[in-house]
Amino acid sequence: MYCKRPIQIYILLLMALMLIFLQWPGVVGAKDAGGVEKRPARLITMAVEYPGIQIAKGEDEVSMDVIFHNKGKSDENVSIWVEEKPEGWNARIKTYRYSVTGIHVPSGEDKSLTFEAGLPKDVKPGDYRFRIDAKTLDGRFKMSQPVTITVSDEEDRSKEPKGVKLTTSYPVIRGPSDATFEFSLEVDSKLDEDAVFDLMAKGPQGWDVNFKPAYETKYISSLRIKGNQSTSVAVEVKPAMGAAAGEYPINVRVSSNNANAEANLTVILTGTYGIELGTPDGLLSLNAKQGKPSNVSFYIKNTGSAKNSGIKFLSFKPENWKVEFRPEQIDAIEPGDLKQVEMIITPYEDALVGDYSVGVKVEGEKTAKTLEFRTTVKASAAWGWVGIGIIVFVIAGLFGLFRWLGRR
């Protein structure tokens, strides 16, 4: 018992020292006797995020945070307003969507509002001063913060004043003159609100240019787009009848009350390819003799809008017949031009008398046509005389036979 008493006394003294240490002010934070952090009964301050700010000419508005710090023990209700502003400017205190005239700031918390200033359209470069005032409901705390907005003479290059963007992945399309071309455009609205955009296009004279919703066939002249969203629209282009080969620009424009944009498209026409075959008199028949050449002429007309090059001729004929062309080929025929070709047909020398078919195929650039001729093979004049001789010989033989029989 004698040895244990000093140990118990030592433990009690140690616990008492620890208790005193924990209760000592400033050791575990500045707290009062009730364990609450020491703060004044009331204390609230106001600050603006940017007391001075510089913007480029062409901006529409400026906004910044107004911050309240409540360092007191009690909640505070604070009235706030814009006391001073330049002539012609709009200024207000607002939250996310609404204008406000007061704010509740709980004890120990920070609260923010937004100061918004709208620039006049004809604003000139210079310094423009504002003053924001606030006070508690009982008027004990009054606060004031100045704001200076400096408008510079330099335009804001990063801003998109049109509020809408018009883009296409394929601004140039190539094809024949009789084709229908379709461009795909992306209309990206940068406006915060919904807007109706008018659709306009300017193309070459006689061309049809129309707008369609993507993957639809109906034509439209305007388009509704929700704020900060985009949509696709198709531009259908039909060239004028007989349009020549070449490059043709198409200007497309979208516009609303607050925004507009335009895009330049290009159609490259390669022209159409077509030929027409015929004979000067319209007849597709001729007479021929065995083993003798017979001539027939036909024409080739370029009915397309592009030059037709490398024109060749192929023949379809009976066996052992010969067919030749003069010229053997044509280098090129301009649109609307006509060329004459002579075809020489030589029937087989042992061909039987009768009607035969001889065809010619004309092959040009990206086009071909066929013409068929009925060829009548007739016996030669020599065979006619031989036939007459045989008939005379037979008649003479019969006459001699009758006379001989009559003498008997």
275-382 matches 44-155 in CATH topology: yes
CA dist., res. 27 & res. 159, Å (int): 55
The closest alpha carbon to 201, from 228, 186, 222, 175, belongs to 222
- As a whole number of angstroms, the distance between CA 276 and CA 368 comes to 9
Give residue 292's identity as a one-letter amino acid code.
K
Which CATH class, in words, describes the domain spanning 275-382?
mainly beta
Query: How far is the C-alpha of 284 from the C-alpha of 372, rounded, in Å?
Result: 7
Q: What share of the chain is helix, strand, coil (3-state, %, to 5)?
A: 10, 50, 35
State in words which class domain 164-269 has.
Answer: mainly beta
Strands (DSSP E) contained in 22-176 are 44-48, 52-57, 61-70, 76-84, 90-94, 102-105, 110-118, 126-136, 142-155, 164-167, 172-175
44-155 belongs to which CATH class?
A: mainly beta
At 218, list the tokens.
């109906």
**SS3 per-residue string spanning 314-348:** EEECCCCCEEEEECCEEEEECCCCEEEEEEEEECC
Residues lower than pLDDT 50 in the chain:
1-4, 22, 24-36, 157-162
Taking the C-alpha atoms of residue 228 and residue 187, their distance in angstroms, rounded to an integer, is 11
Asked if residues 182 and 252 have their Cβ atoms less than 8 Å apart, the reply is no
CB 320 within 8 A of CB 348: yes
Domain boundaries, the chain: 44-155, 164-269, 275-382
Determine the pLDDT at residue 271: 81
